[in-house]
Structure 1
Amino acid sequence: MKRALLIGLALLAAAGFAALGIWQVQRLAWKQDLIARVDARIHAAPAPVPPPAGWSGLGTQAFEYRRVRARGVFEHDRETLVQAVTERGAGFWVVTPLRTGQGIVLVNRGFVPGDRRSASTRTAGQVSGTVTVIGLMRASEPAGGFLRSNDPAADRWYSRDVAAIARTRGLGPVAPFFVDADASPNPGGYPLGGLTVVRFRNSHLVYALTWFALALLSAEAAALAWRSPVRR
């Protein structure tokens, strides 16, 4: 009776581990497809920013990292500084409303170090007149960063929360996404664009092999229990 129970448990564990392995293989295929689609988007020719009529129907997977082009006028007096840690060190993202002919789009113009936080230290970069911005569409980052919540009242921002920034700056309706500007240089060198990190963790193959190995060990345990002589 005990041997039968042991065999049953081992076979049940083997089936469960095998199912998890198959699931990870499916996740691997999904992740590889996602990486391929994103890679195609970031290297494609820039397309116009979607018009307001299509904003409500945008799904994150449909637009994330799409390369786009927007033309309008920056409203520098309403820029927002979002704390950031980049390959250039700690500093801030400069998020500025771009008023286009079809509405307002928030643009992450790029990175500035702490000593360039004040707009008065980078006046050359506060370009006026009509500009064309090329960059990647990004999904809004609501709430805040890791273990730190945005505090609009104190003007402390840890994530690029489009809706909250729009409310705080009194912008009215804005696009539900923001655009990460590319590396086109700004006068004076700041903000520094083109620092978007496009990286997807892909450990599904390792997980799949681990689950299949555990399934094999469990099946072997069941076989050993089956072959073991019954002791009275």
Structure 2
Amino acid sequence: MTLSSKPLLLTLSGAAILVLLTLGTWQVQRLQWKEDLIAKAEARVDAAPVSIAEALGRAEAGEDTEYLPVSAVGGFESPDVAHVFGTWEGRAGAYVFQAMTLDEPEGRILLVNRGFVPQDQWAESYELPDAEAFTGLVRNYGPERGLSAAVAPDAGSNLLFTRSIEVLADELAPGRKDAVLPFAIDSTLPTELPLGGTTRLEFRNAHLGYALTWYGLALGLAGVTFVLLRKSG
């Protein structure tokens, strides 16, 4: 390496190391944000349920309502259900969604995930629980991507591969989509068929690994640069 090339090496290596360190620090910040989000969600599920009207007001105000416990009062005007493919404790089956017409906000429709049903126990409809209100956790199911979004519904078996609110509203509330709330709920009632209380409180948090990767690359690049400079004298 010539003397004139050393400044160029230092400049390029320094810029690259700075970028890598910046990315690592950003991932540390994301880690702190994610840990705070997880802690809030885990604490939230143990809180007393609020009304659907209150949950809707919070959502419209921009508040995070994911996993917020709610109590919904209303009725299921139609026995129609939508099966959404899924698994529970290693068993293949589906999660059963049904449309509830609410007493408050009056006339609005809430999509309810009543729980899991093994594949060999699917039915066209399911008995409703003897409860004054449906309790559950708010879920903000948005449009899904990847395979779930690409696979078309199986009309023959009434099977969907997405929990998208828009897709479920097409299936369960045709002609009334404007009345469907922007979120669904996962039932927390202790029912057996469908099996209630199957919400997975699992959060992917890989930010520490990402941070270590970026910092490790920065350290490695610094080491390589040092060796090259030493060899060049």
TM range (shorter): 0.7 to 0.9
**Are the equivalent residues in 1 in contact too, given 2:81–2:124 (CA < 8 A)?**
no
The CA deviation at 1:97 is 1.2
Q: Structure 2: how far apart are the matches of 1:45 and 1:26?
A: 31
| 8 Å CA contact 1:55, 1:176 repeated in 2 | no
In structure 2, what is the Cα distance between the partners aligned to 1:111 and 1:191? Answer: 5
> Structure 1 145/208 Cα, relative in aligned 2: closer, same or farther at 3 Å?
closer
Alignment of 1:90-129 (within 5 A): 90-101=92-103, 102=105, 103-119=108-124, 125-127=127-129
Any unmatched runs of 5+ in structure 2?
A: none
For structure 1, the 5+ residue unaligned runs are none
Partner of 2:183: 177
Query: What's 1:211 paired with?
Result: 214
Correspondences of 1:44-193 after superposition (within 5 Å): 44-50=47-53, 54=57, 57=60, 59=62, 62-87=64-89, 89-101=91-103, 102=105, 103-119=108-124, 125-127=127-129, 131-142=132-143, 146-147=147-148, 148-151=150-153, 155-169=158-172, 170=174, 172=176, 173-182=179-188, 184-186=189-191, 189-193=192-196
Query: Structure 1 residues 40, 55: CA separation in 2 closer, same or farther (over 3 Å shift)?
Result: closer
- 1:19 and 2:22 matched: yes
Identity of paired residues, percent? Answer: 36
The amino acid of 2:66's aligned partner reads: E
Count of aligned pairs between the two proteins: 222
Where does residue 38 of structure 2 map in the other structure? Answer: 35
Residues 193, 225 of structure 1: CA spacing in aligned structure 2 closer, same or farther, 3 A cutoff? same
SS at match of 1:29: helix
Give the residue type in structure 2 aligned to 1:116.
Answer: Q
**CA 1:91 to 1:150, structure 2 compared with 1: closer, same or farther past 3 Å?**
same
Q: Distance in 2 between matches of 1:145 and 1:133?
A: 32
The letter of the residue matching 2:77 is E
Distance 1:100 1:145, change over 3 A: farther
Change (3 A) 1:191 1:76: farther
Cα deviation digits, residues 46-82 of structure 1 (max 9, x gap): 11113697487265x7111111111121235222111
TM-score by length of 1: 0.82
How has the CA–CA distance of structure 1 residues 52 and 229 changed in structure 2, closer, same or farther, with 3 Å as cutoff? closer
Question: Is the Cα–Cα contact under 8 Å of residues 152 and 168 in structure 1 kept in the other structure?
Answer: no
How many angstroms does 1:22 deviate by?
0.7
SS in 2 for 1:43: coil
